[in-house]
C-alpha cells in the first residue's frame, strides 16, 4: 500500500427508521480531498432520492417515531430537503455505485497510482449497512468500497463540541436534513477535527 493514495467520500442518508432495513428517503455524497495547510476541497457531490413505495414492496421499514420526526421537521422547513425526482431503488443504487467507481477510475488515471476511496459515514453501521442491504434486495452487489475503507465520522469528530459543529454547519448555509448538505457539513467537521487534533487520515 506504499503507492496507494487515499481519496475521500462523505456519505449521508435520510431514512424513515433507525434500523438496518430502513426506508431510505435520500442519499447524499460529497467527494473531497485535503489540500495544502489542511484545507479541504469538495470536488463533486451527488444527491439521489428514492421511491418510498418501491422500498415498502421490498419489505423495508418505517418507524412511527421517525415518521413523526419528519412530519414535524418538514413543517418547519422553507424548502424541501429532497431531490425533485425520486428514483427506483435499484436505479438509485446503480447511480451511486457508478459515481463511486467513476471517482476512483478518474483519480487513478489522473495520478497514475493506485487510489483507495475512503468512505466516511456518521455511523457506518447505519448508513453504509442500510445502503448495502438495499443493494442486496434489488439484486445488486455491495457498493464498490472495501470493508476496511469505511470510516466512522462520528467517532473521528467526537472531540468537537456540539456548538462547534452547529456553528460550522450554520456558517456554510446548508439545508438541515438534506442528505447532500449533511454530507458536505460532515466533510467540514472532519477537516476541523483533523486540524484541531491532528488526527491522521488513513
Place of cell 421490498: 58
**pLDDT by residue, tens only, the chain of 202 residues:** 457 899 999 999 999 999 999 999 999 999 999 876 668 999 999 999 999 999 999 999 999 999 999 999 999 988 899 999 999 999 999 999 999 999 999 999 999 999 999 999 998 899 999 999 999 999 999 999 998 999 999 999 999 999 998 888 889 888 889 999 999 999 999 999 998 887 666 5
Pairing of strands 86-87, 40-50: parallel
* pTM greater than 0.85: yes
DSSP letters for 119-160: EEESSTTTHHHHHHHHHHHTT-PPPSS-GGGEEEHHHHTTTS
**143, 135 Cβ separation under 8 angstroms:** yes
| Structural domains of the chain in order of their starting residue, each with its CATH number | 5-197 (3.30.420.10)
Nearest to 59 by CA among 130, 137, 131, 128: 137
Amino acid at each position: 500500500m506504499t503507492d496507494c493514495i487515499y481519496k475521500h467520500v462523505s456519505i449521508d442518508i435520510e431514512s424513515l427508521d433507525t434500523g438496518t432495513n430502513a426506508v431510505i428517503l435520500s442519499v447524499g455524497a460529497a467527494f473531497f480531498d485535503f489540500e495544502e495547510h489542511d484545507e479541504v476541497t469538495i470536488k463533486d457531490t451527488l444527491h439521489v432520492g428514492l421511491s418510498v413505495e418501491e422500498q415498502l414492496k421490498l419489505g423495508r421499514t418505517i418507524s412511527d417515531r421517525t415518521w413523526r420526526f419528519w412530519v414535524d421537521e418538514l413543517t418547519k422547513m422553507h424548502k424541501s430537503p429532497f431531490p425533485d425526482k425520486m428514483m427506483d431503488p435499484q436505479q438509485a443504487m446503480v447511480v451511486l455505485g457508478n459515481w463511486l467507481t467513476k471517482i476512483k477510475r478518474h483519480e487513478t488515471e489522473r495520478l497514475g497510482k493506485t487510489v483507495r476511496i475512503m468512505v466516511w459515514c456518521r455511523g457506518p453501521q447505519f448508513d453504509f449497512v442500510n445502503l448495502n442491504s438495499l443493494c442486496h434486495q434489488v439484486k445488486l452487489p455491495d457498493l464498490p468500497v472495501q470493508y476496511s475503507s469505511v470510516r466512522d465520522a462520528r467517532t473521528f469528530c467526537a472531540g468537537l463540541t456540539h456548538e462547534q459543529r452547529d456553528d460550522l454547519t450554520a456558517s456554510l448555509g446548508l439545508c438541515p436534513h438534506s442528505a447532500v448538505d449533511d454530507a458536505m457539513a460532515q466533510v467540514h467537521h472532519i477537516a476541523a477535527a483533523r486540524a484541531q487534533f491532528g488526527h491522521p487520515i488513513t
